[in-house]
Amino acid sequence: MFTYIIKRVIGAFAMLIVISMVTFGIFYVVPQWAGASPEAMASRYVGRAATPETVHLVAERLGFNDPVVVQYGRFVKGLVAGAEYDYGAGVEQCPAPCFGYSFISGQPVWPDLLDRMPVTFSLAIGAAVLWVVGGVCVGVISALRRGSFFDRLSMGTALAGVSLPIFFTGMLSLVVFSYGLGWTPPGGAWTDISVNPAQWAYNLLLPWITLAFLFAATYARLTRAGMLETMGEDYIRTARAKGLHEREVVVKHGLRAALTPILTLFGIDFGLLIGGAILTETTYTLPGLGQFAILAIRNQDMPQVMGVVLVAAMFVVVASLVVDLLYAVVDPRVRLS
C-alpha cells in the first residue's frame, strides 16, 4: 500500500514536469519554430505602441535570446520560487507561483485565476458527483432489468448523449428551461457558495445536468456491461445461495467488482471534464476559468492563457492522483501489489 502511494505520487510529480515542459513549449518554443524572432516574441509582452529600442530591451530582459533550456529553467523557477522583473527603473517582485502579468491590465495573473477557480471547480465537482451517481444507478437498474423498457430507453438516451455536443444541449436547455419555462435562472447567474449555498446550487443546477449528461451516458453503458458480466459470475450465485439479501448481493458483490473499470475511466476523464467545463461555462456565460481563457485568447493575452492551461493541467493531475488512491480502497488487489 505504502509503495503504491509513493509510486503514484512520484508519477504525478513526473506528470507535472512533463506538463510544464509542454506548456513552455507551446508558449515559448512553437512561436519561435513558426518563425517569430526574439523581438517579435517580446513585442507581444510590451503592447503595440512600443519603440524598437524598448522591444529589444524587453527581449533582452525577458531572456528570449537565451538558449531554450535556460528559458525553461527561468520559467520553472518563477512558478516555484517567484520571479523578479528588472524594468530598469526598479525591480518588481512577482511572488510564487508567478504566472507573469496580464498584457491588458498589467495585473499579476495568479490572483485573477484564484478568483475564477471556485466557479470552475463548483461546476466540475458537482457535475462529476451527479454523473457518477446517476450513470452508475441507471447502469445498474438497466443491467438488472435487461431488455425492459427502462433498459432500452436509457441505453438509447445514452447513445444520443454521447453524440450530442455539450454546448448544443446547453443552449437547448437554456432555451427551454430558462427562457421558455422560466424554471431556472438565465445564463450568467453565479452566487458563491459562502454567500448562499441554496442559490449557488440553484444557479448551477442546469449547467451541472448539462455537463453530467454527456458523461453519465458513457458511465451508464459501462456500468451496465460490467454488471451484466459480474452478475453471471459464480461467486454471485454463491452469495445468493448462502442466503444474502438481494440488495446486498447486488451492491456488495456485484457493483463493487463492476466499479473498478468505472473508476479507471473516471481517472482518465478529468482531462475531458475540464474541457467540458470550459464549454459549459462559455455556453452559460459563467465567470470561470473557461470564460477567462477564451477572453484571454481573444485579447492575445499570453500570460493569462498560460496560467489557465497550467492550472487546468495541475487540477487534472491532482484529481487523477486522488482517483488512483481511491482505486486502492475499492480494489484490494491494488493494495497488496
Partner 1 sequence: MTAPLDVSGSAAEAQPESVLAGAGKAIQGRSLTRIAWMRLRRDKIALTGGIVVVLLILVAVFASPIIAVFGHPPLEFHQDQIDQSTLLPKGAFGGMSGEYLLGVEPINGRDIFSRIVAGAWISLLIGFLATMLSVLIGTTLGVIAGYFGGWVDLVIGRLMDVFLAFPLLVFAIALAGVVPDKGFGLEGNGLRIAMMIFIIGFFSWPSIGRIVRGQTLSLREREFVDASRSLGARNGYILFREILPNLMAPILVYATLLIPTNILFEAALSFLGVGVNPPTPTWGGMLSEAVRFYTLPHFVLFPGLAIFVTVLAFNLFGDGLRDAFDPRAH
Q: Which residues bind partner 1 (CB under 8 A)?
A: 15, 18-19, 22-23, 26-27, 30-31, 34-36, 159-160, 162-168, 171-172, 174-175, 179, 225, 268, 270-272, 274-276, 278-279, 282-283, 293-294, 296-298, 300, 302, 305-306, 308-309, 312-313, 315-317, 320
Least distance (Å) between residue 260 CB and partner 1: 17
Q: Which residues on neighbouring strands pair with residue 93, listed in sequence order?
A: 84
The helix/strand/coil state of 86 is strand
Please identify, using beta-carbon distances, which residue of 200 and 230 lies nearer to partner 1: 230
What's the grid cell of residue 119? 466557479
User: Which amino acid is present at 108?
Assistant: P
In whole angstroms, give the CA distance from residue 119 to residue 194. Answer: 12
User: Are 82 and 98 contacting, i.e. CB atoms less than 8 angstroms apart?
Assistant: yes
CA distances to 60, 61, 122 from 197, rounded to whole Å, are: 50, 47, 11
Nearer Cβ to partner 1 (101/200): 101
* CB closer to partner 1, 178 vs 191: 178
Beta carbon of residue 254, minimum distance to partner 1 (angstroms, whole number)? 19
- 78 or 303, CB closer to partner 1? 303
Smallest gap from Cβ 273 to partner 1, in A, equals: 8
First to last CA, the chain: 8
Cα 155 to chain center, whole Å? 26
CA–CA gap between residue 87 and residue 182 (Å, rounded): 54
CB nearer to partner 1: pick between 239 and 305: 305
Residue 222 CA from chain centroid, whole number: 21
Residue 37: CB minimum distance to partner 1, A: 12
Query: Which residue lies nearer to partner 1 by CB, 36 or 244?
Result: 36
Q: What would the grid cell of residue 290 be?
A: 473557461
For residue 85, give the 3-state DSSP assignment. Answer: strand
Identify which of 317, 303, 296, 310 has the alpha carbon closest to the alpha carbon of residue 94: 303
In three-state secondary structure terms, 92 is strand
250 vs 312, which CB is nearer to partner 1? 312
The gap from C-alpha 288 to its chain's centroid, in whole angstroms, comes to 12
Q: What is the closest distance, in whole angstroms, from the C-beta atom of residue 9 to partner 1 in the complex?
A: 15
- Shortest Cβ distance from residue 246 to partner 1 (Å)? 26
Phi, psi angle pair for 97, to nearest 5°: -80, 125
Minimum distance from residue 141 beta carbon to partner 1 (Å): 19
Burial (CB count <10 Å: 0-12, 13-18, 19+), residue 139: buried
- Identity of the residue, 239 or 281, whose beta carbon is nearer to partner 1 in the bound complex: 281
Q: What is the nearest approach in angstroms of partner 1 to the Cβ of residue 118? A: 18
Main-chain dihedrals φ then ψ at residue 154, nearest 5 degrees: -70, -35
Task: Please report how close the Cβ of residue 194 comes to partner 1 at its closest, in angstroms.
Answer: 27
- 200 vs 292, which CB is nearer to partner 1? 292
